[in-house]
């Protein structure tokens, strides 16, 4: 069931999303060669306290697994849900995807970006630029009465010239009191299909895009998803609100 947010809920979501955006913005500035991903995770915890929110990832349960980190930190060929560790060190030329999901006053703010560390390979840089552009193309397509498939098709069309692999195993989603709500928002699809987008819907739009194949493999930790061919991946995300006239990006600092 798709939940339409009341004005009071929208106000609470704005607050949570601003906090999430500020944590992500501050954390991105700490991504430098030599820092460990465990250090970044600890820094994220501190930033959440500073900005008056808490991690929605820490302690998140899927089946028998409980997520141990405060954010998701994915390096290079890791697509999503990487876990910070002392021996995972950021190096010059890396792509570091930071997925920050916070809870404030009972509501979720969800955003992500891939940080390019120093001088990265040209194809990796272009992947990041194109993935972020695709996110904004999808957001720009949103209007009351349009459909999920319109949004999905806009993202897919923006990525088509690059010949990238659009991840299929993970998708965008509704968001509110829970991190994952209806509807699901694939990053590929057919225009004119899927649920209608209505004012009051809050959506986490998040293209996850691979330089090579769209296929992924799961690491032994049960959380980290990697590209099946070992090529790099990028991930950008905003939480948005469908309004009476169009769309509002909520995760702006």
The CATH number given to whatever domain includes residue 153 is 3.90.230.10
Q: Is residue 115 part of a domain?
A: yes
Give the E-state strand segments of 12-68 in sequence order.
Answer: 54-55, 61-62, 65-66
Q: Is residue 1 part of a domain?
A: no
Among the residues of 90-121, which ranges form H helices?
A: none
Report how many domains make up the chain: 1
pLDDT, tens digit (0-9, with 9 covering 90-100), for 188-201: 999 999 999 999 99
Q: Is residue 225 part of a domain?
A: yes
Q: Is residue 224 part of a domain?
A: yes
Cis peptide before 44 (omega within 30 of 0): no
pLDDT at residue 98, as a whole number: 99
Q: Is residue 73 part of a domain?
A: yes
Under a CB-based contact definition with an 8 Å cutoff, are residues 80 and 208 in contact?
A: yes
Q: How many CA atoms lie within 13 A of 36 on its CB side?
A: 9
The CA distance from 207 to 188, in Å, is 9
pLDDT at residue 48, as a whole number: 99
Under a CB-based contact definition with an 8 Å cutoff, are residues 73 and 55 in contact?
A: no
Q: Is residue 25 part of a domain?
A: yes
pLDDT at residue 203, as a whole number: 99
The residue to which tokens 């659009």 are assigned: 166
pLDDT at residue 173, as a whole number: 99
pLDDT at residue 44, as a whole number: 99
Residues of the chain with pLDDT under 50: none
- Beta bridge partners, 67, equal none
Q: Is residue 109 part of a domain?
A: yes
User: What's the pTM?
Assistant: 0.97
Structural domain range at position 94: 7-249
pLDDT, tens digit (0-9, with 9 covering 90-100), for 161-198: 999 999 999 999 999 999 999 999 999 999 999 999 99
């Amino acid at each position: 069931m798709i939940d339409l947010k009341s004005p009071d809920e929208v106000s609470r979501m704005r607050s949570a999303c601003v906090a999430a955006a500020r944590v992500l913005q501050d954390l991105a500035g700490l991504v430098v060669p030599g820092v460990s991903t465990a250090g970044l995770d600890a820094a994220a915890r501190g930033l959440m306290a500073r900005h008056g929110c808490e991690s929605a990832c820490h302690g998140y349960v899927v089946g028998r697994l409980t997520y141990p980190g405060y954010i998701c930190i994915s390096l290079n060929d890791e697509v999503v849900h990487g876990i910070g560790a002392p021996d995972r060190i950021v190096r010059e030329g890396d792509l570091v995807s930071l997925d920050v999901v916070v809870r404030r006053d009972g509501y979720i703010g969800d955003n992500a970006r891939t940080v390019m560390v120093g001088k990265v390979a040209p194809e990796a840089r272009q992947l990041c630029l194109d993935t972020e552009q695709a996110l904004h193309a999808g957001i720009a397509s949103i209007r009351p009465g349009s459909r999920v498939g319109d949004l999905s098709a806009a993202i897919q069309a923006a990525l088509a010239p690059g010949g990238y692999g659009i991840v299929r195993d993970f998708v965008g989603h509704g968001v509110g009191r829970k991190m994952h709500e209806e509807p699901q928002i694939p990053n590929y699809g057919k225009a004119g299909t899927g649920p209608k987008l209505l004012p009051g819907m809050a959506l986490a739009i998040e293209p996850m895009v691979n330089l090579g194949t769209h296929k992924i493999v799961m690491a032994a930790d049960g959380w980290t998803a990697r590209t099946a061919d070992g090529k790099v991946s990028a991930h950008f995300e905003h939480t948005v609100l469908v309004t009476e006239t169009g769309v509002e990006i909520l995760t702006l600092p």
